[in-house]
Amino acid sequence: MGTITGKGIGDSQGPDAQNDFGTRAMRAILPLLSVVLAGCSIHPVQQDVTGVPPVEIIHHIRCETRLAIQDKAIELLQNDPAALPLVQRLKEMRGKSWDFVKRANLPNAEERKFYDRYILTGIAYDFTLDITEENRASLSADPVRLITNGVAGIGLDAASDFSRNNQRRFIMSDTFANLLNDRNPNLICGDKPSNFAYPIAGRIGMRELISTFIDLNEDQSLQALDTGNSRVFADTMTFLTTLTGSVAPHVEIAPVGSKWGLASPTSFTAFGQRIDKHMVIIGLSMEAPKAAVVPAMAVVPFAGLAQPRSALQKSRGTTPTEQSALDAVRQARIDAYLDRAVH
């Protein structure tokens, strides 16, 4: 609550004085609105709030996936006494390149078979970063009501409503072998803390996903999505973060030179909201046995028409398993769309 006083304001009640006062009041309103609207981005992007640009998100996810694969390998090998020297070396190199690990380094035939089964597994990531910003502001004032002590009044109102949306999507693919052997300095990985406000800027749960994929395949084969026997798995993660803020101060301007009078209420309201919807679809595909390698899967067409491949996706994966993982991601997106259409 604030009080603004001025000598002689109540003595000038002519039309010119009222118009001049109204003009000056409107000039005061506009800067207030501009302050609120300064928070509305022309091109909202997720790094505005996470501080992590998309290329760093890719590095984070690849690092998290590398650590997930390495932790699963260590977990499985440490049960074999003959593999303990290798396990110790693997723990020392956790997060770094494992290009020194060869099939021949493994101590028994069963572990070599396991290595052959998973080393060429393809993994694909489909990122969608959807950001919406809304900013609203309004101001109401009646300076003439102040001048006339409530005999007459002119309401002054100003309002604005802005909304911005940006949707960014990108797709990438990899293999377990590439992740384990890559010497890129950006893949000297360590465990990152969870970011509960914006999970995509921290850890998204790749360890559980990789472990589940391997455990399911070791328990029984997953249903094939194509005519070969490449086993696939898809997981969709959606993170929704909503930030909302508002301010509504109230000011009463009391006239001078009068022991009583109607106060002139001035209300200013500002509202801002930002909604970040981050979605990651992850596809995994095991290597098909050499005798059963088939061309990349064709997605089920609509009404007998072949579906065009997204321009955001590689025309072909660099390996059959990468392409199968990319197709699994695409099929998961189509299935989600069909599920929404049905319900």
319 vs 331: CA distance, rounded Å:
18
Closest of 328, 327, 298 to residue 227, by C-alpha: 298
Predicted local distance difference test score (pLDDT) of residue 316: 52
| pLDDT score for 95 | 94
Strands, E assignment, the chain: 122-141, 156-175, 232-247, 250-253, 264-285
What are the angstrom distances between the C-alpha of 177 and each of 55, 94, 112, 115? Answer: 21, 15, 14, 10
pTM of the model: 0.69
Per-residue pLDDT of the chain (343 residues; tens, 9 = 90+): 333 333 333 344 455 555 554 555 455 444 444 444 445 567 788 788 778 888 888 889 999 999 999 999 999 999 899 999 999 999 999 999 999 998 888 989 999 999 998 999 999 999 998 988 888 877 776 655 555 555 555 666 677 778 888 888 889 999 999 999 999 887 889 888 888 888 888 889 999 999 999 988 887 555 444 444 458 889 999 998 888 877 666 555 454 444 444 444 566 677 888 888 999 999 999 865 444 444 443 344 433 334 455 555 554 557 888 888 888 888 888 888 787 777 6
Q: Using CB atoms within 10 A of its CB, is residue 202 exposed (0-12), middle (13-18) or buried (19+)?
A: middle
Burial degree of 306 (CB within 10 A; 0-12, 13-18, 19+):
exposed
**What's residue 125's pLDDT?**
94
pLDDT at position 223? 46
Bridge partners of 305? 302
pLDDT at 208: 94
Q: 331 vs 72, 96, 129, 299, 335, CA distance in Å?
A: 27, 33, 19, 7, 6
Q: What are residue 340's phi and psi, to 5 degrees?
A: -65, -35
Task: Please return the burial class of 49, using the count of CB atoms within 10 Å of its CB with bins 0-12, 13-18 and 19+.
Answer: middle
User: How many C-beta atoms surround the C-beta of residue 155 within 10 A?
Assistant: 10
